[in-house]
Amino acid sequence: HVTKVGIVGIGFIGSDHLHRLTKTIANVEVTAVCDIVPNKAQKVLDEQGLKAKDYSDYHDLINDPNVEVVVCTASNEAHYEIVMAALKAGKFTFCEKPLALDAQQCMDIINEEKKLGRRMLQVGFMRHYAPEYVQMKQMIDDGVIGNPLMVDERHYNQTQPEEYDTSRSIIETAIHEIDLDHWLVNDDYASIRVFAPKQTRHAQNAQIKDPQIVMMETKTGINIVIEVFVRCQYGYDIKCDVIGEEGVLELPTVPQVATRLNAQYSTAILTDWKARFESAYDIEFRDFIGHVSQEESPVGPSAWDGYIAAVTADAALKSLDEDGEKQDLDFPEAPAFYAAK
Ligand code: ISE
């Protein structure tokens, strides 16, 4: 069976997933695309040597009987309405992170999905599929470093445009760690605070807060510090150290050939996040398509994961507004609908 996919939003990640779904994932046909900017999707189809129906209205794509699965890679603001429409049409849906702009929108999506009687949606938290994080999680679960006590992380982008404002550093960048860390250390967050230290001169205007420091504490008292810096200039740099009672786990970086040249010994630092996590994205889509092509519910990150991340991100933004004031967090048990993994 060839699974027929429609992609809404052909920007950076949309074009990347279009390429992935047509060139590296077996038994998929991208039958339709759509972008709010006229001619944008067609241009990308041409560049990639592909043919698909190019819709100007995403409702038409969703309602096309030749689209079985909807992939939402539109801008963050549009996720909510697109996902709601796809679920209302009863279609399997993959939505890039963040699931929506805030916890309330995520809860609406959850309620819509529940009407379908089973999971139909997966959220693009692809780091769960990155082999290096999977290994780290396994080692924590196996007790290799004893109980985790602290997590020390860096999430740096080389640069972002002016419209990448203070809130996007949280809801679009730090959201990866916010989603990942409680899974890694098997604990829930009890509080979060976010503040801005000395600011970079590379921010395009004075309103933008960059870098930011996110501090979270879990229920058992694990301390997590994430430095978020989306205009660091030198590259895409992801660090994750988990400090335990007996030792430290360190996330590896992508190996690059070392160069000995002109009295220098050097290795490259990647600059593009799509390349840094390429294998994670591939494994993620193989898993997602593998399930939905058999008419099975997806098993990767769910709308509930999207909701937990959004509750945490909402509190992060509140803290930032209140000069780093600590915000308490308390999460309900995952509903049975999502708990059965
Ligand atoms: C982007 O959407 C991502 O998901 C990247 O992993 C992140 O580093 C970047 O800041 C986001 O804009």
> ipTM, 2 decimals?
0.98
Ligand 1 neighbourhood includes 157 CB (under 6 angstroms): yes
SS (H, E, C) 196-255: CCCCCCCCCCCCCCCCEEEEEEECCCCEEEEEEECCCCCCCEEEEEEEECCCEEECCCCC
Sign of the C-alpha dihedral, residues 140, 143, 148, 151? negative
Which atom in ligand 1 lies closest to the alpha carbon of residue 168? Answer: 12
Tokens 């205009």 belong to residue: 231
Instruction: Point out the ligand 1 atom lying closest to the alpha carbon of residue 236.
Output: 8
Report the predicted TM-score, pTM, of the whole model to 2 decimal places. 0.97
Using the 8-state DSSP alphabet, how is residue 56 labeled? Answer: S
Q: Which residue has its alpha carbon closest to ligand 1 atom 10?
A: 173
Cα(226)–Cα(14) distance, rounded to whole angstroms?
27
Pick from 158, 171, 176 the residue to mutate for probing ligand 1's pocket: most ligand atoms within 8 Å of its CB: 176
Ligand 1 center to 245 CA (angstroms): 32
Do residues 80 and 105 make contact, with C-beta atoms less than 8 angstroms apart?
yes
CA 172 to ligand 1 center in whole angstroms: 6
Domains assigned to the chain: 3-127+279-307 (3.40.50.720), 131-269 (3.30.360.10)
Say yes or no: CB of residue 172 within 6 Å of ligand 1. Answer: yes
**How many Å from the N-terminal Cα to the C-terminal Cα in the chain?**
25
Each residue's pLDDT expressed in tens, for the chain with a length of 341 residues:
899 999 999 999 999 999 999 999 999 999 999 999 999 999 999 999 999 999 999 999 999 999 999 999 999 999 999 999 999 999 999 999 999 999 999 999 999 999 999 999 999 999 999 999 999 999 999 999 999 999 999 999 999 999 999 999 999 999 999 999 999 999 999 999 999 999 999 999 999 999 999 999 999 999 999 999 999 999 999 999 999 999 999 999 989 999 999 999 999 999 999 999 999 999 999 999 999 999 999 999 999 999 999 999 999 999 999 999 999 999 999 999 998 54
